[in-house]
Every structure is written in C-alpha cells, then in structure tokens.
C-alpha cells in the first residue's frame, strides 16, 4: 500500500487500565503485537507518531486521570512520538491539543488509526477524521474491543463489534480498513 511520507500513526488509548477485568471478554489477542509492529515501522521510516490517552472523568474508571490504569502500556510509552493528545471523550479530535490543527499545520493528510477500543474511540476518531477530510486507514487487526451489552440485555461479542466497525468505516466511506501486513512489509 502506498503511504504518504508523512502519514501519521495515531495510537488510541493503549493504556494499562484496559487490562482490568471490569471490561470483560476481549477479542484479537494479537492487537498489541500489531500495534508494536506499526510503531517500529513508523519509527524506522521517521513518520510522525501521535499517542492518545483517555483521561476518564467517570468515578472509579480504570482509566481515571492520575491512576495506574491511566498510564500508557510500556511498549507505547517508550516510543519516540511527536504529540501526546489527552481526551475525556471518544474522539481524539476533541482532545488537547487540537489534533486536526496539528495535522494540518504539518501538511499531514493521511492518518493510520490503531488502538483500543475498536468500536468506540478508534471508530469515532476514524469517522471524524474522514469527515474532516483526512485520508484515514484503519488496520483492524491492530485494534481490539470487548463484549458489550446494549438495550434489553442484548450482548454483542467483541468479534462481532469489530466486524461491524470494519463494515461501518469501510462501507460508509470513512476509512480504508486493512490488515497490518498491508502497511508493514
């Protein structure tokens, strides 16, 4: 796949708190391995890396600001990066500092979005990126999510949620959904 020389890797919420049992069953046990492969490739190519951290304001959240769970996972925290965005909502485009402005100031038009949770912050960031005119790529195997309960006790499994996200993003024209191998040769 052809990538812009300055394509930015946006790493969403790869935080310690997502290892907490409160989240329940997850999918894609290779997500972190694929994220690390992409980080290594981006570093080697001197492409920009943006880290995003969710600073939850929900009482008792494993991602609460100032808690151990709020910290980025060590393999992410150790990587050289150009920007750290903090947020307390789903989209990295509603974080601090202003991600869209930062990307535009640097002439970055292509973003690759990875991280946690596939159907929450990854999908929301990818949708907004597409709406804002960025060329968005989501390597779906570099994301993971958890089973989720909705209205009337309906439960969707993490794999089903990830497939729905892939269809929403790709079929809806928000992003190109690919596999990590397509971006890392």
Q: What amino acid positions are annotated as catalytic residues?
A: 13, 87, 121
Which of 82, 60, 85, 59 shows the shortest CA–CA distance to 72? Answer: 85
Length of the chain: 185
Which of 117, 66, 106 shows the shortest CA–CA distance to 82? Answer: 106
Kindly calculate the radius of gyration of the chain based on its CA atoms and give it in whole angstroms.
15
Distance CA 17, CA 7 (A): 28
For helices 158-171 and 123-131, give the axis angle rounded to 10 degrees: 10
The neighbour count for residue 50, using CB atoms within 10 Å, is 22
Distance CA 52, CA 32 (A): 15
């Amino acid at each position: 796949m052809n990538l812009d020389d300055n394509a930015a890797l946006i790493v969403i919420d790869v935080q310690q708190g997502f290892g907490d049992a409160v989240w329940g069953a997850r999918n894609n046990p290779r997500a972190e391995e694929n994220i690390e492969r992409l980080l290594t490739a981006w570093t080697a190519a001197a492409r920009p890396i943006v880290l995003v951290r969710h600073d939850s304001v929900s009482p008792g959240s494993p991602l609460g600001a100032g808690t151990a769970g709020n910290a980025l996972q060590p393999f992410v925290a150790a990587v050289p990066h150009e920007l750290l965005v903090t947020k307390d909502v789903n989209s990295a485009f509603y974080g601090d500092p202003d991600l869209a402005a930062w990307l535009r100031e640097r002439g970055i038009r292509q973003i690759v979005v990875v991280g946690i949770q596939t159907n929450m912050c990854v999908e929301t960031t990818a949708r907004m990126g597409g709406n804002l005119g960025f060329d968005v790529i989501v390597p779906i195997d570099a994301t993971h999510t958890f089973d989720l309960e909705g209205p009337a006790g309906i439960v969707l499994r993490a794999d089903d949620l990830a497939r729905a996200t892939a269809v929403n993003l790709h079929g809806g024209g928000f992003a190109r959904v690919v596999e990590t191998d397509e971006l890392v040769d």
